[in-house]
Amino acid sequence: MTGVWAILYREAHIYMRRWTKHAAAYAMSPFLFLLVFGWGVGRHVEMEGMTYLQFMLPGLATMSAMTQSYGMATEINIARFYWRIFEEFQMAPVSAWEIVLGEVLYGMVRGTLAALVVYLMGGFFGTWVIPGALALLFYLLHAFTFASAAVVAAMIVKSHADQGHINTFFIVPMSFLCGTFFPLDRLPVWAEYAARALPLTHSNLAIRAAPFGGAIPWGSVAALAAFGAAFFTLGIYLVRRAGV
């Protein structure tokens, strides 16, 4: 585990040197969504027996956590292609799983903090939603899944352009089609089935149920855990293969 903490310490040290920029990044996009969809479009709209802001806020926090957890893929790419940091990791007495776990823990911190910022901003817009301990656990699982996906993406791309393609075809569609801004049953049947095959859908279903006292969809929690385990295992394999 020494290697895990060493990698996490390195990432945390870099993060703290830039924390103001990270905080601004966490806030800007959710602020615009809250302003446009919360006040501009949905101020007088109800969704599933609650105000639209109450409905949207957990989904927006989940989307922001996904963006920030997965966003570290770009940093890993820079570390691989320019700084050669991964080569140093592989030369050190650190195993592949320690490299992946260290990076994933950093991604989990980023994602969870981003989600908390969104809830605080919701209070600024007059909507306080307290996620609770169970939702926090789901956020950690959610961030684990997408941080693990970030490691996988960073290890399979050959250039920054490839990374952009993954964002375009994987991250952006999930942001808008997986229950973030409206219930899944508003989609056509075929699109709903497609959305249920994506991890963000299961994150939204689990996390939105927790703070409002709804029945927890444990099937979605299990699906999210399965996605996370698959991405994490694949990440270890890819890092190990890169060091061969």
Tens-digit pLDDT string for the chain (244 aa): 777 888 888 888 887 887 787 778 778 888 888 888 767 666 667 777 788 888 889 999 999 999 999 988 888 887 777 777 777 777 777 888 999 999 999 999 999 999 999 999 988 888 888 888 899 999 999 999 999 999 999 999 887 777 888 888 889 989 988 999 888 988 999 999 999 999 999 999 999 988 777 788 999 999 999 999 999 999 999 988 876 4
pLDDT of 25 reads: 77
pLDDT of 41 reads: 67
pLDDT of 236 reads: 94
Contact 206, 138 (CB under 8 A): yes
How far is residue 80 from each of residues 17, 29, 167, 216, measured CA to CA in Å?
A: 21, 28, 18, 40
Residue-range definition of the domain harbouring residue 49: 2-242
pLDDT of 129 reads: 86
* Token pair listed for 144: 């684990």
pLDDT of 35 reads: 84
Specify the number of domains making up the chain.
1
pLDDT of 241 reads: 86
- Nearest-Å Rg of the Cα atoms of the chain is 18
pLDDT of 40 reads: 67
pLDDT of 148 reads: 97
Fill in the amino acid letter for 34.
Answer: L
pLDDT of 21 reads: 78
How far is residue 117 from each of residues 28, 95, 111, measured CA to CA in Å?
A: 10, 34, 10
pLDDT of 89 reads: 74
